[in-house]
Copies of this chain bind each other. A is one copy, B any other.
């Protein structure tokens, strides 16, 4: 009875569920998906503030291509999550955390965009693809993209 050899085949991962390598990849993608919208919003809000001095829901709605109530509800979640502050009927501000995330997203967006352009892609397609790809690029990949774009 000493030791145990293979009481249960395996039982040591502190992971949830089996942790098939493939499953881990999918879980990572799902995790990334959960943050996509917040990332796009704070990035856009930072940009609006930079360009117009303020971020109004109506402009967010126009740029995002959604309706005003959709923006309102999303802003509610962002506020709940500590990324923005807002007062009723006023424009939106980023918290320190929101600003940090925005900065990060802007840099990442710019690197992905420059990378695609340096590959020879046309600007419109590059912008569209970058908008989706940016949320699924690891730090490591981002570094490779940056290096490639620089040494293009």
Contact = CB atoms under 8 A, between A and B. Distances in A.
A24 B128 contact: yes
A141 B117 CA distance: 10
A131 interface: yes
A24 B131 CA distance: 11
A20 B140 contact: no
B62 A25 contact: no
Interface string A106-121: 0000000000100111
A100 interface: no
Nearest to A31: B132
Nearest to A16: B65
B120 A144 contact: yes
- Chain A residues touching B, range: 35 or more
A137 interface: yes
A25 B138 contact: no
A122 interface: yes
B17 A65 contact: yes
Given A63-B20, A121-B144, A26 B136 contact: no
A28 interface: yes
Contacts of A20: 62-63, 65
A54 interface: no
Given A26-B66, A132-B136, 7 more contacts: A20-B65, A33-B132, A116-B141, A122-B140, A125-B138, A126-B141, A129-B138
